[in-house]
């Protein structure tokens, strides 16, 4: 639904070039979101195992560790995305006229 609404808003208000920019970054966006969801699911398994064992002290520790790990991974994704998006799009043979537009357009919607 996010992608559909993004396309509708950008296509109607910002034009064809902006919509092409959104299309070029959608797969990368979905890859990053899927990676983050996978890490979150894995961390929740650890918390659930301690909760199932009724080891509430370890539930607290695992939850705190999960939050810290999530923050660190979020910062890493942000830095890698900031510096690596344009080279990645060039490697995917994105047309030059799309690369000249601001690459953060899909984040706004």
Question: Among the residues of the chain, which ranges form H helices?
Answer: 2-13, 16-52, 56-91, 96-99, 105-108
| DSSP structural state of residue 53 | T
Domain count, the chain: 1
Write down the pTM of the prediction.
0.66
pLDDT exceeds cutoff 60 at 30: yes
pLDDT above 50 (res 105): no
Please count the other Cβ atoms lying within 10 Å of the Cβ belonging to residue 85: 14
Q: Which domain holds residue 49?
A: 2-108
């Amino acid at each position: 639904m996010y992608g559909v609404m993004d396309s509708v808003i950008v296509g109607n208000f910002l034009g064809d070039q902006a919509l092409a920019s959104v299309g070029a970054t959608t797969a990368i966006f979905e890859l990053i979101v899927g990676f983050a969801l996978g890490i979150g699911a894995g961390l929740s398994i650890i918390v659930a195992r301690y909760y199932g064992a009724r080891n509430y002290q370890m539930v607290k520790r695992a939850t705190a560790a999960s939050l810290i790990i999530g923050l660190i991974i979020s910062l890493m994704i942000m830095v890698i995305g900031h510096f690596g998006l344009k080279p990645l799009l060039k490697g995917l043979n994105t047309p030059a006229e799309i690369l000249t537009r601001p690459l953060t357009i899909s984040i706004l919607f």
